[in-house]
Amino acid sequence: MLLQGKVHKFGDDVNTDYIISGRHKFKTLDMRELAKHVMEDLDPDFYSKVTAGDFIVAGRNFGCGSSREQAPLAIINADISAVVAQSFARIFYRNCINTGLPLVECDTTHIDPGDELTIDLGGGVLHNVTKGMDIPITPLPPVMLKILSEGGLVEHFKKHGEFNFD
How confident is the model over 15-57, as pLDDT tens digits? 999 999 877 666 667 889 889 999 999 999 999 999 999 999 9
How would you classify residue 26: left for phi > 0, otherwise alpha for psi between -120 and 50, otherwise beta? alpha
Using one digit for the tens of pLDDT, what is the confidence trace for 54-94?
999 999 999 998 777 889 999 999 999 999 999 999 999 99
Q: What is the pTM of this model?
A: 0.91
Per this entry, what is the length of the chain?
Answer: 166
Instruction: Please name which of 122, 131, 144, 147 lies closest in space to residue 3, comparing C-alpha atoms.
Output: 122
